[in-house]
């Protein structure tokens, strides 16, 4: 839904045809190709991750099927020294920030090492946040630190439509507005919060207008139009870096997949709604636009898919070669001063591990 007081941006219609005056980035063929390639890689990564979950090699996984434009646009708009504070449906942007595919798989395999990004670019980014909306406040903390240090950097934080109903989200908007923090809130409105539809989530026509009460500009973009998402996020990040304050951007998209691999959306979601949403998905849209300008064809598509599959295969092999974590790690980074009962538990665990010949699992 829209609201006359809330700006809405879309440049490409669902068939990839321009429906408004195009922004300068539409002529940047290199950028558009990069966005396209990353969206395809994200989608293929998702497919691979689901296959790994189905064969018991990783745990629960949250796909971003249909929402690839949001993460990829954000990844392209962020500068190396900005900070990303993501939620769990953010593989697209994480990969662009330098998180390695095997790290993302490690994380979803329940291994903390997946959040210790090796790439220096991603090192200051936060790990995936599963507790709904709490990351919005962490993002404000980071943004406040940047302000205090007088740095010209920005923080981007993401969340779902459901997360906007949480107190944490509203408190974060409030403090961001009160302190004029360099933070950009990006809502991935995929229309569902597990089985709760957007229509039941909130009485306001848009989620973007929640910004108004906090004194923050709020706007909507077509989250399936990567040009719109990129243009508006880039402007908001630049505003934040220049000390002009926070922005809230609601990206309208659709969750084409189940909520996670632990969900079966066919139990609560009409098939017709899902098929209608497929007609608006972001990859086909950018592909059609690129093709209309002579910048994409069937051969390039096939080459890209083969290239991505080969990259994925190598990442899975690296992931499977990584040994088990040191069991001691479950006790680390929890307390500044070590509590005695935990010391006993750690000793007991070490003895058991030693009895099993160094294997944490039997
Ligand atoms: C504090 C908290 N409460 C409940 C949950 C369980 N939970 C996981 S995902 C989810 C729905 C979130 O929906 P939305 O914010 O729209 O994000 P989406 O998954 O659709 O991207 C809920 C309630 C949780 N992870 N954390
Ligand atoms: Mg949602």
Q: Looking at the structure, tell me whether residues 174 and 301 fall in a common domain.
A: yes
Position of tokens 């434009």? 69
Q: Looking at the structure, tell me whether residues 222 and 200 fall in a common domain.
A: yes
The angle subtended at Cα 307 by Cα 49 and Cα 91, nearest 5°, is 35
> Which residue, 321, 336, 351, sits at the end of a domain?
321
CATH classification at residue 82: 3.40.50.970
What phi-psi label fits residue 150: left (phi over 0), alpha (psi between -120 and 50 degrees) or beta?
Answer: left
Q: Looking at the structure, tell me whether residues 87 and 110 fall in a common domain.
A: yes
Q: Looking at the structure, tell me whether residues 311 and 230 fall in a common domain.
A: yes
Position of tokens 């909520």? 259
Q: Looking at the structure, tell me whether residues 77 and 134 fall in a common domain.
A: yes
Q: Looking at the structure, tell me whether residues 298 and 358 fall in a common domain.
A: no
Helices (H), 123-263: 134-148, 167-179, 198-201, 226-241
Q: In this predicted structure, which of 242-246, 299-303, 327-331 has the lowest mean pLDDT?
A: 327-331
Q: Which of 191, 193, 200, 258 to mutate to test the pocket of ligand 1 (most atoms within 8 A of CB)?
A: 193
> Is 237 domain-assigned?
yes
> Is 149 domain-assigned?
yes
Among the bound ligands, the one closest to the CA of 263: 1
pLDDT in tens, 211-249: 999 999 999 999 999 999 999 999 999 999 999 999 999
Question: Domain containing 349: what range?
Answer: 325-362
State how far the Cα of 85 lies from the Cα of 146, in Å rounded to an integer. 14
pLDDT at residue 327, as a whole number: 87
pLDDT at residue 361, as a whole number: 53
pLDDT in tens, 28-73: 999 999 999 999 999 999 999 999 999 999 999 999 999 999 999 9
pLDDT in tens, 110-126: 998 999 999 998 999 99
Per annotation, catalytic residue among 2, 268, 352, 356: 268
Cβ < 6 A, ligand 1 pocket: 89, 130-132, 159-163, 188, 190, 192-194, 255, 259
Q: Looking at the structure, tell me whether residues 250 and 120 fall in a common domain.
A: yes
Q: Looking at the structure, tell me whether residues 104 and 16 fall in a common domain.
A: yes
> Is 16 domain-assigned?
yes
268 is catalytic: yes
> Is 2 domain-assigned?
no
pLDDT at residue 358, as a whole number: 63
pLDDT above 50 for 362: no
Q: Looking at the structure, tell me whether residues 158 and 212 fall in a common domain.
A: yes
293 is catalytic: no
pLDDT at residue 360, as a whole number: 54
Q: Looking at the structure, tell me whether residues 291 and 315 fall in a common domain.
A: yes
Range 324-331 average pLDDT: 86
Q: Which atom of ligand 1 lies closest to the CA of 133?
A: 1
> Is 142 domain-assigned?
yes
Query: Could you tell me where the beta strands, DSSP code E, fall in the chain?
Result: 8-9, 83-85, 155-160, 183-189, 192-193, 196-197, 218-222, 247-252
What is the count of structural domains for the chain?
2
> Is 217 domain-assigned?
yes
Q: Which atom of ligand 1 lies closest to the CA of 131?
A: 26
pLDDT at residue 232, as a whole number: 98
Question: pLDDT band at residue 209, thresholds of 50, 70 and 90?
Answer: very high
Per annotation, catalytic residue among 43, 97, 153, 259: 259
- Looking at the chain, the whole-number percentage of residues with pLDDT higher than 90 is 91
> Is 309 domain-assigned?
yes
255 is catalytic: yes
Q: Looking at the structure, tell me whether residues 106 and 240 fall in a common domain.
A: yes
Mean pLDDT of the chain: 96
Burial of 257 (0-12, 13-18, 19+ CB in 10 A): buried
> Is 1 domain-assigned?
no
Q: Looking at the structure, tell me whether residues 348 and 219 fall in a common domain.
A: no
């Amino acid at each position: 839904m829209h609201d006359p007081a809330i700006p809405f941006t879309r440049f490409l219609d669902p068939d990839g045809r321009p429906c408004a005056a195009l922004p300068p980035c539409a002529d940047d063929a290199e950028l558009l190709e990069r966005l396209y390639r990353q969206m395809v890689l994200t989608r293929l990564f998702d497919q691979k991750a689901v296959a790994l979950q189905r064969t018991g090699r990783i745990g629960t996984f949250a796909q971003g099927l249909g929402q690839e434009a949001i993460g990829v646009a954000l990844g392209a708009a962020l500068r190396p020294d900005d900070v990303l504070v993501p939620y769990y449906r953010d593989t697209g942007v994480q990969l662009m920030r330098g998180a390695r595919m095997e790290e993302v798989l490690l994380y979803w395999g329940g291994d903390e090492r997946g959040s210790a990004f090796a790439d220096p670019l991603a090192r200051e980014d936060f790990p995936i946040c599963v507790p709904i909306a709490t990351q919005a406040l962490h993002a404000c903390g980071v943004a406040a630190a940047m302000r205090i240090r007088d740095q010209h950097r920005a923080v981007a934080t993401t969340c779902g439509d459901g997360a906007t109903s949480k107190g944490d989200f509203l408190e974060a908007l409030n403090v961001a507005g009160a302190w004029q923090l360099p933070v950009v809130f990006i809502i991935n409105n995929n229309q569902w919060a597990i089985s709760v539809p957007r229509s039941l989530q909130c009485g306001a026509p848009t989620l973007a207008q929640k910004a108004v009460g906090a004194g923050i500009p709020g706007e909507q973009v077509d989250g399936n139009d990567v040009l719109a998402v990129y243009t508006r996020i880039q402007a908001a990040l630049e505003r934040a870096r220049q000390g002009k304050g926070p922005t809230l951007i609601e990206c309208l998209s659709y969750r084409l997949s189940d909520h996670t691999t632990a969900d079966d959306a066919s139990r609560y979601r009409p098939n017709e709604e899902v098929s209608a949403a497929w007609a608006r998905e972001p990859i086909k849209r950018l592909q059609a636009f690129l093709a209309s300008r002579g910048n994409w064809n069937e051969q390039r598509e096939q080459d890209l898919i083969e290239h991505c599959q080969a990259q994925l295969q190598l990442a899975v092999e690296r992931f499977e070669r990584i040994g088990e974590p040191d069991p001691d790690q479950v006790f680390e980074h929890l307390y500044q001063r070590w509590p005695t009962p935990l010391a006993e538990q750690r000793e007991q665990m070490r003895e058991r591990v030693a009895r099993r010949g160094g294997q944490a699992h039997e």
